[in-house]
Amino acid sequence: MGGRILVWRSSPPRDKLRARVLSVVATKIRTSHGVGGLTSTVGRIYEGYLLSTPVVGRGMVIFRDPNGRRMVTTAVRRVLTPGEDNILYVETENSVYRIAIRDEQPTAATATG
């Protein structure tokens, strides 16, 4: 890992995700179902908006489009912050995701109806 120290935390730094809607790209990098090999979902990319900090014990939700389509994971086990400001690794009960934050600007949420 190039001498960098990776630290597992129960949650990512609060100042990074506090009260923000962030545009993210989540890539599934591992799944526990594919113990003997890869499954078809490893490498799948989910683009959308992370509305809250991943919380240990709860599913992570990424909203994928304005119509409400979303990706919901199984319960989060732990969150890795590798020292890069725009990257998180989230381990769930079934998978590991690499979360790349695409922007730092809070996104205004609008209600339609």
Beta bridge partners of 43: none
pLDDT band at 103 (very low <50, low <70, confident <90, very high): low
- pLDDT attached to residue 51: 81
CATH number 3.40.47 given to 7-101: no
Mean pLDDT, all residues of the chain: 75
Neighbours of 105 (CB within 10 A): 10
pLDDT of residue 81: 87
| pTM of the model as a whole | 0.69
Q: What number is the average pLDDT over the span 74-96?
A: 91
pLDDT of residue 10: 44
Please, which residues bridge with residue 63 across strands? Answer: 49, 70
Residue 16 in 3-state DSSP? helix
- DSSP class of residue 85 equals T
> For position 85, what pLDDT does the model report?
80
Torsion angles phi and psi, residue 80, rounded to 5: -105, 130
Give per-residue pLDDT as tens, 41-54.
788 888 999 888 88
Residue 18 has pLDDT above 80, yes or no: no
